[in-house]
Amino acid sequence: MERQLLQRAKEAFVSGRARPLEFRLQQLHALQRMIMEKETEISTALKQDINRSQYDTPLLELIGIENEIKLAIEKLAQWAAPRPVEKNLFTISDEVYIQPEPLGVVLIIGAWNYPWALTLIPLVGAIAAGNAAVVKPSELSECSSLLLHTLLPRYLDKDLYPVVTGGVSETQQLLRLRFDHIFYTGGSTAGKLVMEAAARHLTPVTLELGGKSPCYIDKDCDVRTACRRVTWGKFVNCGQTCIAPDYILCEPCIQGQVVEFIRQTLLEFYGADPKCSPDYGRIINQQHFSRIMSLMEGYTPVVGGQSDSSQCYIAPTVLKDVPPHSRLMQEEIFGPVLPIVTVSDMEDAINFINEREKPLALYIFCSDQKAIKRMIEETTSGGVTVNDVMMHYTISSLPFGGVGQSGMGRYHGKHTFDQLSHQKACLIRSLKMERVNLARYPPQDRRRARRVRMALRSPLIDTSKRTLIWAVVATILGIGLFITLLVILLIAAGLNCTCWYWRGFYN
């Protein structure tokens, strides 16, 4: 079945119907209608999957999808237009530009923790770029997966954007097929398998993975506010967020404050018993429940620690004085457990971060601008948010993606469009003005070689500026071709040009 779906998608793409901007806009508007009209059904599915609050679903997923669609609709003509670039002297009279064009058929493999946003936001970019796309939602968020399979064909072109449900077997079958790009969101273990499968066909990939995103809290900042924001980011969606703060780094002198402020914030957010709170979620399944519980073995929580396997419930939990080389610090937690690791100062925190894999996100709570800049400059991460958590994800103008083990490629807004487009280099020349080319043709001599070198070494010229005007004026005045080129060069280079350039050009 997967092969047949792919073949239909390829045939639909080759037919060219996904290319016109009018069609792309039509599909984007249809997707927008789906989100608006089916918000209740989507919220219900997420309530069944991970006990997500009906109020959190718009905040955490649907508004973001709507914003991406609105931006794509508004900017599509601009994104898809040819992009003029600077020229050199040999191409000054030619048309030189970059033309974004569709890649073909994209495979989008979604994730279960935010099954709508992490599947549909890449789809928005695929549609905007003029591609076909095979959509594979995660089988772990079963209700959302089945609902997406039902809804998408009602709103979008069935051949260009088919949905494949199922588990590991179906995903493996898809990965055996040849796509033009694979966009995967999930864990690094599966990400390696996706990349290995893509390599067999030389298929480019975007891997949105994860990792252990550190959160440094400086002793001189507003620790209470910092802990309030960290608590929200860590425990929203029951800690199952790829850019959630994975652990806290702080000096020993404020560790007690951090614990107490988090305790107070949890009481405010979820009440005395988070299990009864309508705003607190659940772990996706028993397998992940058992994995998270095993990570806590041997520790005495200073906050939380309660659990109920029958409901896949783990209370918001804080562990302090966690050893840096413990198992808890070796793998992404992806759950409501927050370890605190103490460091002596910011330099120690920087070294701690740099000794480990590059994270998807880095969070810095600090009031000293110089210290903030130092930490940003001396560490590497997919993204950075200062004095808050996760909010960089909400800005469509920022590229979202990892680095190293936390992923490759980027998306959101125009970044998704560019990621799923081929940037075709275009040069359109005239068959006239053949004298321009004489210097590069054989037989060569010293004079011709000098002219070619000077032309090729010239700075790039932005023909939208006054340089082009001067070139036109020089041509009208009857100055020879090489003098015209020289005028362009001198204006582009500025007043620092010297007379040797004139002499060298003619000698």
Give the pLDDT confidence of 121-156 residue by residue, as tens digits: 999 999 999 999 999 999 999 999 999 999 999 999
Sign of CA dihedral 26, 28, 30, 36: negative
Among residues 121, 86, 87, which one has the least CA distance to residue 106? 121
Q: Using the 8-state DSSP alphabet, how is residue 358 labeled?
A: P
- pTM of this structure: 0.90
Domains and CATH numbers, the chain: 1-210+411-423 (3.40.605.10), 214-401 (3.40.309.10)
> What pLDDT, in 10s, does the model give residues 266-313?
999 999 999 999 999 999 999 999 999 999 999 999 999 999 999 999
* DSSP tally for the chain: helices H, then strands E: 19, 16
Confidence of residue 491 (pLDDT cuts 50, 70, 90): low
Residue 417 CB-half CA count within 13 A:
23
Which among 507, 455, 417, 467 has a CA at the least distance from the CA of 24?
Answer: 417
Distance CA 58, CA 64 (A): 8
Nearest to 270 by CA among 311, 303, 222: 303
User: 122 or 457: whose pLDDT is higher?
Assistant: 122
Supply the pLDDT for residue 346: 97
pLDDT at 467 over 70: no
Mean pLDDT of the chain: 91
Three-class HEC string of 161-214 = CCECCCCHHHHHHHHHCCCCEEEEECCHHHHHHHHHHHHCCCCCEEEECCCCCE
Selection from 139, 113, 296 nearest residue 210 by Cα: 113
Please state the length of the chain: 507
Active site residue 426: no
Q: Is 208 a catalytic residue?
A: yes
Alpha-carbon gap, residue 286 to 294, rounded angstroms: 12
Determine the 3-state secondary structure of 217 from DSSP: strand
pLDDT in tens, 208-252: 999 999 999 999 999 999 999 999 999 999 999 999 999 999 999
Q: Which two tokens stand for residue 142?
A: 């079963």
For residue 203, how many other CB atoms are within 10 A of its CB? Answer: 20
Residue among 208, 215, 238, 251 flagged as catalytic: 208
Using the predicted structure, report yes or no on whether residue 480 has a pLDDT greater than 80: no
Phi-psi region of 494 (alpha: psi -120 to 50; beta: other; left: phi over 0): left
Q: Catalytic residue, from 215, 221, 238, 242: name it.
A: 242
- For residues 48 and 46, what is the distance between their CA atoms, to the nearest angstrom? 5
Q: Which tens digit of pLDDT belongs to each residue from 167-214? A: 999 999 999 999 999 999 999 999 999 999 999 999 999 999 999 999
Confidence of residue 504 (pLDDT cuts 50, 70, 90): very low
